[in-house]
Chain A
């Protein structure tokens, strides 16, 4: 089995448009949540969202490539450019070294809705244009980026609801570990437009604390009233240890464990057992004891039952050592398909810069949260090993463990 290391990170999120901006936001506990008044026009119950500026890629990419990219594809392009640069992989390198791509993405709703609107109005398929078909498929991110960067390795999208990004990294890890790929561009991307979130808003799962957006996302806090949708893109470049050493790359961390499970229960109500099993399997895969984990980046989205069951699961697995825990969703909101990848990027930044980002808005921990060692404020602390959780609809669970290479 090969060792799997991380050599590049890229991020485009409501906390910042690059690694440096995001690191500062994390350290300072800055919220990226805003009120989007436009949501009133479509009868949303909640107007809250993480806000990400739509980039203008004119001048960066030719028209043929731009017209096929949906919103989240544009974010993914930028986070991947940043990650490849950090990894020291230029186009010449990608042209001469087989490189794969696995991204988590589970919708391209706005593109589908716009195409359907046009079709119903014009009643002529030609008038949908050439880019629509490539924008609307779930695999849009990987099909576009593999073309843009001329990749020749594994190439597909993973749709695992809000654990998509995490499973994408996990699958890349398994391919590299087993010698099937030397390097894979992994990540997760998420559209933030309101059209894509209407049916999620319908479940009354979103916070309606619209008078104070920065206080609305409150994972583990008694006074939470729901999650806040968000998005952007995160990219994590993984490769075999040998590949990284051979080309003299800076190794940022080693991916040592991936655990996954399915609850086998309700479509939207999480359980305690499924997530606990994923965490235990990740520890087993990593070959470490729970006590060796310094920090847990929780999935906790700011919904009462989700947070409660995760708190119980973390306590069951880590109760003895009680590592620091925080949910960066308190600042970002729920980045859905992207979250598993972005939270690896956030946790990597904490590990690189020796701090635990705060679980902001934690003022009154509930009964289960009180048992955890929650970081309500930024904690300056060395992190050698962290675990990051991601769970999704259908009861899909993923846990990833990363270790610092000394």
Chain B
């Protein structure tokens, strides 16, 4: 999957399913601050990542992800699709 496709798919599910304001999603923005998700939301994020990118997120993986660009890079490095 190309990076542009990863960004498109990710932004779409964040806007459609997690109701994040699309204008706040920029590569430099802080992921956790922007998403403002609780522990239950993270469970759902694991589900959509598995469904869209074909791999299972480990909770500790989120430690090193700060910005949206970090998140896209992480998805690109692990996707099986």
**Which B2-57 residues sit within 8 Å CB-CB of chain A?**
17-19, 38, 40-41, 43-44, 46-47, 50, 56
Of A62, A126, A128, A129, the contact of B56 (CB 8 Å cutoff): A126
> Which residues of the other chain, B, contact A62 by a CB distance below 8 angstroms?
19
- Report whether A130 and B44 are in contact in the complex, using a CB–CB cutoff of 8 Å: yes
- Report whether B19 and A130 are in contact in the complex, using a CB–CB cutoff of 8 Å: no
Query: Most chain-B CB neighbours within 10 Å: which of A62, A64, A124, A128?
Result: A64
- Report whether B18 and A126 are in contact in the complex, using a CB–CB cutoff of 8 Å: no
Within the complex, the shortest CB–CB distance from A60 to chain B, in Å, comes to: 12
A62-B19, A63-B19 known; A127-B46 Cβ under 8 A: yes
A288 close to B (CB within 8 Å): no
- Report whether A124 and B44 are in contact in the complex, using a CB–CB cutoff of 8 Å: no
- Report whether B40 and A63 are in contact in the complex, using a CB–CB cutoff of 8 Å: no
A63-B17, A63-B18 known; A130-B56 Cβ under 8 A: no
Distance of A124 Cα from B17 Cα, bound (Å): 21
- Report whether A67 and B44 are in contact in the complex, using a CB–CB cutoff of 8 Å: yes
- Report whether A64 and B43 are in contact in the complex, using a CB–CB cutoff of 8 Å: no
> Which residues of the other chain, B, contact A67 by a CB distance below 8 angstroms?
44
> Which residues of the other chain, A, contact B40 by a CB distance below 8 angstroms?
64, 130
Counting chain A residues whose Cβ lies within 8 A of the other chain, the interface size class is: 10 to 19
Query: Most chain-B CB neighbours within 10 Å: which of A62, A64, A130, A131?
Result: A130
> Which residues of the other chain, B, contact A124 by a CB distance below 8 angstroms?
56
**Which A306-338 residues sit within 8 Å CB-CB of chain B?**
none
Distance of A63 Cα from B36 Cα, bound (Å): 13
- Report whether B19 and A129 are in contact in the complex, using a CB–CB cutoff of 8 Å: no
Within the complex, the shortest CB–CB distance from A128 to chain B, in Å, comes to: 8
A63-B18, A124-B56 known; A129-B47 Cβ under 8 A: yes
- Report whether B47 and A127 are in contact in the complex, using a CB–CB cutoff of 8 Å: yes
Distance of A130 Cα from B38 Cα, bound (Å): 11
- Report whether B18 and A129 are in contact in the complex, using a CB–CB cutoff of 8 Å: no
Within the complex, the shortest CB–CB distance from A70 to chain B, in Å, comes to: 16
Query: Most chain-B CB neighbours within 10 Å: which of A62, A126, A131?
Result: A126
Distance of A124 Cα from B50 Cα, bound (Å): 11
As a 0/1 sequence over residues 101 to 131 of chain A, the CB contacts with chain B under 8 angstroms (1 = contact) are 0000000000000000000001010111111
Distance of A155 Cα from B75 Cα, bound (Å): 43
**Which A32-47 residues sit within 8 Å CB-CB of chain B?**
none
Within the complex, the shortest CB–CB distance from A77 to chain B, in Å, comes to: 18
- Report whether B44 and A129 are in contact in the complex, using a CB–CB cutoff of 8 Å: yes
**Which A120-166 residues sit within 8 Å CB-CB of chain B?**
122, 124, 126-131
Distance of A67 Cα from B45 Cα, bound (Å): 13
- Report whether B46 and A64 are in contact in the complex, using a CB–CB cutoff of 8 Å: no
Sample of 13 further A-B pairs with CB below 8 A, known A64-B38, A126-B43, A130-B41: A63-B17, A63-B18, A63-B19, A64-B40, A126-B47, A126-B56, A127-B46, A127-B47, A127-B50, A127-B56, A129-B43, A129-B47, A130-B40
Residue pairs across A and B with Cβ atoms less than 8 A apart, 19 shown, are A63-B18, A63-B19, A64-B38, A64-B40, A64-B41, A67-B44, A122-B50, A124-B56, A126-B43, A126-B46, A126-B47, A127-B46, A127-B47, A129-B44, A129-B47, A130-B40, A130-B41, A130-B43, A131-B44
